A and B are shown apart, each in its own frame.
Chain A
Amino acid sequence: MTAPLLQVDDLHVRFPISGGGLLGTGKRVLHAVNGISFELAKGECLSIVGESGCGKSTTALSILGLQTPSEGMIRYRGQPLTGPGAPGRMERAKAVQMVFQDPYASLNPRQSVRTSLAAPLRLHGVTAASEIEGRIEAMLKNVGLTPEQAARYPHEFSGGQRQRIGIARALILEPEIVLLDEPVSALDVSIRAQIINLLLDLQEKLGLSYLMISHDLSVVEHMSDRVLVMYFGEVVEEGGWRNIFEAPAHPYTRRLIAAIPDPAAALDPTGKQDRFADLPQFTGRRFVSDGSTSPDVFTAPALSELVEIGENHRVRLASA
């Protein structure tokens, strides 16, 4: 069996926090990510969902190499991306790229579209002006912009167009993995649909693998093959999108899905507000946390394990 495209193995990230005690005695350790493991296959869209502070962004930054893990291993095609054998920024850049949440902050206001697309190409050894121009032109067409728009500056574009430019920049080095950090949550509703469609088209056309970070579960359901639900640094449930959205087992997953303001549910004439009311409660071993109270982030979490409860569906339970 060949190595998976991306493999995250028991990733831990801890931050020392100075607690303000005299002589630094108040030092505490914040457990941001506690033993996350997953694999991303070629052409797959895997989503990590969870609320602020759950560790999903820290996980993404670790994969990008912008955050050093405290423990654990990240491998790209079997080769380590972290630790002593890690590649430099240049090599990593060709493997993983990122699309940022805020299209207004993600483009350098002083660089034209052409400059921000040409500079990475030049940096990575593409020197022929004709080739650079050709690749920029093709990329702009790919993301639904015209080559003439390359001369413009970010402030001349709308939010949706800026996000297209951000996508073009992420794809210009032809990476295999694209990290999508809340790619549409800062956009207007009508623009959102266009960008989601574009991302789906590009994934099929270029054979991309997406790792999406999001709190918007309706977008996640629409785009993902598999879903990881994170809660305070741990994966509490993972599985195929159908399992997660139609038969969620963990109470936190249920709460998360039920919390989405959904017009259909709100206007349901039968007044059935809880969509999972009919779903049987998970029986057997107990959950460590039901997601209604926040655990202490300064202590290592209680022992627990992800248990297979069905095909392509695992949920975190307290250790027996």
Chain B
Amino acid sequence: MRFGFNFWLGAGLTVLVILAGILAPWIAPFDPVLDADLMSSELPPDATFWFGTDAQGRDVYTRILYGAQISLTVGIVSQVINSMIGITLGMTAGYWGGWWDDLVNGLTNVMLAIPSLIFALAVMAVLGPGLPSLLIALGLTNWSWTCRIARSSTLSLKSQGYVQAAQTLGYGDLRIMFTQILPNMMGPILVMATLGMGSAVLSEAALSFLGLGIQPPFPSWGSMLTDARQLIQLAPWVAIFPGLAIFLSVLGFNLLGDGLRDSLDPHMRTRKP
């Protein structure tokens, strides 16, 4: 496969975020929660505190590294849930058609009509704040585009000769969906999931910013922005660095998605010599 510059830039940023999250316990100079020291609060960036300190005197750099864990978990888990729901509904609707298709279509349209953040807010309001409910809320609210793509891909793949051949060879419906249809539409689905990871990270930041997501004192980029709200003029670094982290990781996911879309073409795949 040949990848373009966008893909590599996106992959680089994504890997950076992943490494930051995984290696946080070892490379972070301080503890994200316990190393609070009001004596050294709101210090600008220097040699000890690379990104400065926040109102409680905690190292912003350390908290951003740990915050990457949250962002990644939210991005990946919510997209896995979204893709599973979207693929299952979309593929069965496209393949079977009939009343099931009408039902799924109606559901998708309703989901698209409700702004997903509002819907997530409602779910969070019911489930209460916290990481698990955040994952469920974001996982349940963003599957409609995946579902639409899965449905339309299934409709076009269904008429391909190899799907008809599988039917004549005696394959069952589910086997056809999982061996013939799903592998051939993974490209666009993967792209959607990668792009969705970016928006999930943003939604997490927004929900945490509203106080519904990750609860203090544990760091997430969104909740760090919430805390920084009052300090924006006094200590701008407390807001700038989490904001930059969100910006770069979302950019990374999106570039990765775009790059994947450009190069995920079965014709580019060649057997290893």
Contacts and interface: CB of A to CB of B under 8 A. Distances in A.
Interface in B152-196: 160-162, 164-165, 167-172, 175, 179-180, 183-184
A120 B170 contact: yes
A279 to B, nearest CB: 39
A152 interface: yes
A65 B167 CA distance: 9
Contacts of B2: none
A4 interface: no
A124 B169 CA distance: 9
B161 A66 contact: no
Interface stretch (A102-110, A127-135, A312-320): A102-110
B170 A90 contact: yes
Interface string A83-119: 0000011111110111011100111111100001001
Interface residues of B, number: 21
The secondary-structure label for the interface of chain A is mixed
Nearest to A102: B161
Contacts of A108: 162, 179-180, 183-184
Given A106-B165, A110-B183, A156 B170 contact: no
Most buried by A among B164, B170, B269, B271: B170
Interface size of A as a range:
35 or more
18 contacts: A64-B164, A66-B164, A91-B170, A94-B170, A106-B160, A106-B161, A107-B161, A108-B184, A109-B267, A111-B183, A119-B169, A119-B179, A151-B271, A153-B266, A153-B269, A156-B270, A156-B271, A169-B165
A89 B267 contact: no
Interface in B214-273: 266-267, 269-271
B170 A93 contact: yes
A66 B168 contact: yes
A98 B267 contact: no
A318 B236 CA distance: 92
Nearest to A153: B271
A155 interface: yes
A173 interface: yes
A189 interface: no
A267 interface: no
A202 to B, nearest CB: 17
A168 to B, nearest CB: 11
B270 to A, nearest CB: 7
Interface string A142-176: 00000000011101100000000010011001000
A123 interface: yes
Given A65-B167, A108-B179, A153-B266, 9 more contacts: A66-B167, A89-B171, A98-B164, A106-B165, A111-B179, A119-B179, A155-B266, A156-B271, A169-B169
A97 B162 contact: no
B240 to A, nearest CB: 45
A108 B167 CA distance: 13
Interface string A31-42: 000000000000
A166 B167 CA distance: 14
Interface string A263-293: 0000000000000000000000000000000
A111 B161 CA distance: 14
A105 B168 contact: no
Contacts of A88: 170
B160 to A, nearest CB: 5
A106 B168 contact: no
Contact of B170 (A105, A107, A124, A166): A124
Given A100-B165, A110-B266, A155-B266, A105 B171 contact: no
A89 B172 CA distance: 8
A110 B184 contact: yes
For the complex of A and B, 8 pairs with smallest distance between CB atoms: A106-B161, A93-B170, A100-B161, A109-B266, A90-B170, A110-B183, A120-B169, A108-B162
B163 to A, nearest CB: 8
A106 B171 contact: no
Contacts of B184: 108-110
Contact of B169 (A107, A155, A173): A173
A96 B183 CA distance: 27
A105 B183 CA distance: 15
A110 B184 CA distance: 7
Contacts of A173: 169-170
Contacts of A102: 161
Contacts of A64: 164, 167-168
A91 B168 CA distance: 10
